[in-house]
Amino acid sequence: MDVNETIRCACRLHSEPLSEEPLDAIIKRYEGPDLVKKMHEPAADLDFGTKFIRKHEEFIPLGSNFPSVEINGGRLRCCHNLRKGTSASAEKEQLFVLLHGLGGNMEQFEPLMRLLDSEDKKFVAIDLPGFGKSDEWANYLMDNVVKAVHHTVILLFSMYQSYSKLTMVGHSAGCYILIHFLTNYQNSFQFGKCVLLAPPKRTVDVLSKENHLIQFGLKAISKIPWILDIYRERFDQNKGLASSGISRFFYRDGDITNKYRKLWQFHNNIQIKSRSLWNYLLGWQEINWSKVDSTLTTVSIVIMCGANDVVTPLSNAQDMLKCFTNAQDKNLIVIPECGHNLTFDYPELFLANFSQAVLSN
């Protein structure tokens, strides 16, 4: 099978839903009013759950000895193909670590996971704490989230097989977690490429700890997250596919698969907990770019963004690329006619570029 056919298969969703229903029947079921109500029904979990993810899903325990007095164990959901046999020795293998952004979950990497699996590449995608089906924490200091990612990778290594190199892939705010991971554990792993998808600003000044007014507001609202729930439910989510979590993340109208992916993301969006979103903002930690510049000299940087992304526009990607002055090499790829959710909005073109820039080099 050539690479183009492999990509088409990775994007094809017919016969994938757990409900066994065809895509057009699923889409028709969610037409009309009361979309949010329908999305909360048990049948929606089967309509927007896929066989591939169910097959590769695993819950990783953090355990009571996880290195933070503020975190009481819990579990992280991940999706990986490490149970499969390996065609090469561990010394030649690399592991792709996929990190979603604020309010996302690992399912948005579904086309990429299927491509990596088809190409016999090992991957692990993680539902970050408080998102997807991972357990919630009391707070989300970014350094502790990074430690949780490290813990998960190490535990999977001990359960299955170690790998000689990590290729990190982050989307949106997940790019920040990725870069913190690289700088914190530069001596623990050999890193290959660092792939930043739709990165945010290199410095998010509004979340600075020195911005006392914003910090006060964040702390105040974190005490009453139900206010955000009311706004999201009554003034945004009731707009259905016209809600901000869809209209700002997708650019294309696309075909039946694109419509299904929009409904899939909407189903995931209504599961997001406002308290998690707000506490992630409270736990935000800026990147030490001088440390990045002095340490990440052997890492190749690939930045990909949608030409029509209104959440993290192209200017963000261009500015962030400049930060990696000492990188081994760096590349910026712009996906035309694509919004913020690269892997769901235009998966075919995204995977074609990913294959060429990351897998073929």
Q: Give the CATH number, domain containing residue 331.
A: 3.40.50.1820
Which residues are catalytically annotated?
172
Arithmetic mean of pLDDT, 197-222: 82
| pLDDT given at position 229 | 75
- State how far the alpha carbon of 262 is from the alpha carbons of 222, 255, 311, 343, in Å: 29, 11, 16, 12
- State how far the alpha carbon of 143 is from the alpha carbons of 104, 204, 246, in Å: 19, 16, 29
Arithmetic mean of pLDDT, 6-29: 96
Of 297, 303, 280, 312, whose CA–CA distance to 143 is shortest?
Answer: 280
Q: Is the pLDDT of residue 274 over 80?
A: yes
How far is residue 204's CA from residue 254's CA, in Å, rounded to a whole number? 33
Q: Confidence class of residue 68 from pLDDT cuts 50, 70 and 90?
A: low
Domain count, the chain: 1
| pLDDT given at position 295 | 77
State the Rg of the chain over Cα.
20
CA 201 distance to own-chain centroid: 17
The number of beta carbons lying within 10 Å of the beta carbon of residue 301 is: 19
State residue 49 phi and psi, 5-degree precision.
Answer: -110, 145
On average, the pLDDT of the chain sits at 89
CA angle 200, 221, 172 (to 5 degrees): 15
Q: Is the pLDDT of residue 159 over 50?
A: yes
- State how far the alpha carbon of 241 is from the alpha carbons of 36, 252, 339, in Å: 10, 13, 15
| DSSP three-state, residue 325 | coil
| pLDDT given at position 171 | 98
Say if residues 181 and 168 touch (Cβ distance below 8 Å). Answer: yes
pLDDT tens, position by position, 168-184: 999 999 999 999 999 99
How far is residue 257's CA from residue 9's CA, in Å, rounded to a whole number? 12
Say if residues 180 and 143 touch (Cβ distance below 8 Å). Answer: yes
| pLDDT given at position 86 | 56
Q: Is the pLDDT of residue 69 over 50?
A: no
Arithmetic mean of pLDDT, 88-106: 83
Q: Is the pLDDT of residue 314 over 90?
A: yes
Q: Is the pLDDT of residue 65 over 60?
A: no
* Domain span at 166: 3-359
| pLDDT given at position 67 | 54
Arithmetic mean of pLDDT, 332-353: 97
